[in-house]
A and B are shown apart, each in its own frame.
Chain A
Amino acid sequence: MTNSIPEFETDSNCFLIIGSNTSEGHPLIATRVLRAKQRGAKVIVLDPRKNQIGHWADVFYTFRPGSDVALFNGLLNIIITEGLADQAFIAERTENFEEMKALVAEFPAERVADLTGVPVEGLYTVARLYATQKPAAILYAMGITQHTTGVDNVKSVANLAMLTGNLGIPGGGVNPLRGQNNVQGSCDMGGLPNVFPGYQPVTNPETIAKFSKAWSSSLPTPNSPLSNKIGLTVTEMISAAGEGKIRALYVMAENPMLSEADINHTRHCLEKTEFLIVQDIFLTETAQLAHVVLPGASFAEKDGTFTNSDRRVQRVRRAVRPVGDSWPDWEIICHLAGKMGAGGFDFVSPQAVMAEVAQLTPSYGGITYERLEELGGLQWPCPTTEHPGTPYLHKNRFSRGLGHFFAVPFKEPAELPDQDYPFTLTTGRIMFHYHTGTMTRRSKKLDSEARQAYLELHPDDAQKIGLNGSRRVRVSSRRGQIELNVRVTERIKPGVVFIPFHFAEAAANVLTNLAIDPIAKIPEFKVCAVRVEALSGTEHRGGTDHRSGESERRTRRDE
């Protein structure tokens, strides 16, 4: 995020929320947005579903999944032609404006309305409101990134913010909301195939030299340099394992069996993996396939730090000892490295690890446990121990100098509905569960709120498929099929269906498409083509509405 969460309440005068089910995915951020609305800020929500925040919005439109780039180009074009662009900002802080302008000129409102399903007057309303109510914050989540055009979508978001001068100011910026607690931190720490901690590229010879020196005691021989070859992403590693090119996988606290697109493919690949190590707190779907399972500790049983969406590094503190003979994950890694004969892993505590991180990672240079104890949290970049941290980014300049406008052509999603698979499936989260449900589905209260997967279907479509009061459907794609209950609702756009992905027994990712963005390598979770067929008979296990979980409570796991 370029802004801080508190700025939403105090500074932002307009929110453009797109591809984020904020009230369910990030409830306490939604609270800030609604408080800002009370003092007069405008809220615009664009989403394939009328989610809860959509109900509260001043302006809400549904749009066709996967048409994001067309939508943004249309908005950019209107803002330019109406003279609402921030000329001073464009002149001083950006480059390549003309090229972008020429491309978006090919997106007049009428064409964009056809491509996206947002009416012409709606496009004008959104563009005018966003461009005139400064500072304006764009909030987005996986609805923007989980596409074959994910990177294009993100570039489009940046174009819109730069065009209106909404960067480098409190309350105005570009804010990807992170779904998992420490996605930000995992990226910051170099849990990525192309960068060391602090986004230092593995292809940069100076960086290689720096880390080779710092980590020399861990290397097989002190002078052997680190690899400068960009590694594989999760999705690529899984496929490579299926082809025998990757022979061993060490999976720490992830559950790709549920979270990856196209589960049947993932299962096939993991089953073929010669040596699979899974370190987790539960025997997840992935761990069940492992050759060795290592019991890690939960957040309550270890010390450390998490970094949230607004780049805030905060403490995690041990409250109880790990259950049974489980170990904190940091200790497991250190022991394993030691067993393999490597030095450089003799840390006595996470605090000592953070001291090494700070030495090697400029943006974390000033982060110490002592300061976190005193200040509660620190937002990076925080280069020195005197630095107060950085609430919002790009104040006087972008990290690369000038902000670059991209001319982004529109591409359709990899799989479009057709005669055989006439519906567009989009997936997402619900309020009561988290990611693959490993933790939340084992929490009595959360489990009782929502116990089963379901499909959201528009009433017109229910009629079309001849649902006739039945509550069960079979959903199939080119990759697999699942059966689940159905919720008929006007929240969803006709022609589009939605399934939350938390539930193993009717896993949405059996259906999703593994087509990936060529740069970010994110699978296209948010768009694939499916067929929906009504099944006769009703599901007697009871309601799927999360407020009617009562009848199911007796039939399922009861602890």
Chain B
Amino acid sequence: MEYHNVLTTCPYCGTGCALHLQVLDHQLVGVLPAKNHPISQGGLCIKGWNAHAFVNHKDRLQTPLVRKGGKLVTATWDEALALIAEKLSALKAESGPDSIGVFASAKCTNEENYLIQKFARAVIGTNNVDHCARL
């Protein structure tokens, strides 16, 4: 048996509490509060205490899916990414970069948001990039 805690930040509201994910044999088994954290001071709300619970849910997407004959079917990464690259390049050539829109995400990390807006602005060539901050 191998057990350790990983200090991280709560994925729910914008308060930014810190929590420890409890990892037993490479599986998440629970959450512990972080005692010395300036925001959460050893506390968490019920959402924070359950922050690990959805991670291994059976509904998690495990592979890329591509729509074929009206249905979403399993695909490889190579297949899915090649299809997207081809489609986006074609649409951009045909109707210009502003015919493509990109949604960044308030649930993803800073680094991911940075990359996706760089992708929209530099690779696609559009400022059509926004997220659900307003919602």
A-side residues, CB < 8 A to B, are 5-6, 25-29, 31, 145-146, 177-194, 196-197, 202, 211, 215, 218-220, 224, 226-227, 229-235, 237, 240-241, 245-254, 256, 259-260, 274-275, 277, 280-283, 287-288, 290-296, 298-310, 312-321, 323-330, 332-337, 339-340, 342, 344-345, 347, 350, 353-354, 356-357, 376-377, 431-432, 434, 439-440, 442-446, 449, 520-523, 525, 559
Contacts and interface: CB of A to CB of B under 8 A. Distances in A.
Interface string B39-60: 1100111110111111111111
A345 B57 contact: no
Given A5-B15, A188-B110, A326 B8 contact: no
A317 B50 CA distance: 17
Nearest to A516: B134
Contact of A25 (B13, B37, B44, B125): B13
B64 A292 contact: yes
Interface string B96-135: 0111111111111111111111111111011111111111
Contact of B126 (A231, A310, A442): A231
B106 A180 contact: yes
Nearest to A521: B134
A454 B71 CA distance: 33
B87 interface: yes
Given A182-B107, A250-B102, A336-B81, A320 B23 contact: yes
B46 A233 contact: no
Given A253-B107, A320-B27, A353-B111, A293 B61 contact: yes
Given A312-B16, A319-B8, A446-B47, A252 B105 contact: yes
Contacts of B50: 440, 443, 445-446
B88 interface: yes
Determine the interface band of chain B, counting residues with CB < 8 A from chain A.
Answer: 35 or more
Contacts of A522: 134-135
A240 B101 contact: yes
Nearest to A188: B110
Given A28-B43, A245-B99, A432-B47, A336 B122 contact: no
A439 B104 CA distance: 18
A520 B43 CA distance: 35
B53 to A, nearest CB: 4
B26 to A, nearest CB: 6
Contacts of A260: 135
Nearest to A9: B41
Contact of A321 (B26, B80, B107): B26
B66 interface: yes
A274 B97 CA distance: 15
Contacts of B126: 227, 231
A29 B44 CA distance: 11
A298 B11 CA distance: 9
Contact of B64 (A146, A219, A293, A356): A293
Contacts of A27: 13, 15, 45-47
Contact of A252 (B13, B85, B112): B112
A185 B107 CA distance: 9
B26 A248 contact: no
A309 B111 CA distance: 17
Contacts of B85: 336, 339-340
A377 to B, nearest CB: 7
B129 A231 contact: yes
Contacts of B122: 211, 215, 218-219, 226, 342, 344
B61 A290 contact: no
A302 to B, nearest CB: 7
A319 to B, nearest CB: 4
Given A26-B15, A181-B106, A192 B111 contact: no
Contact of B99 (A29, A247, A280, A328): A247
A291 B108 CA distance: 22
19 contacts: A187-B131, A189-B110, A193-B129, A231-B98, A231-B128, A234-B130, A247-B91, A247-B100, A249-B103, A252-B108, A253-B105, A281-B60, A282-B60, A292-B83, A295-B63, A300-B52, A320-B26, A337-B115, A559-B58
Given A253-B107, A316-B8, A283 B61 contact: yes
B60 A324 contact: yes
Nearest to A1: B14
B50 to A, nearest CB: 5
The 9 nearest A-B residue pairs measured at CB: A308-B16, A324-B62, A304-B109, A178-B14, A191-B104, A231-B127, A443-B53, A27-B45, A295-B61
A344 B123 CA distance: 10
A190 B95 CA distance: 24
Contacts of B105: 182, 186, 191, 252-254, 329
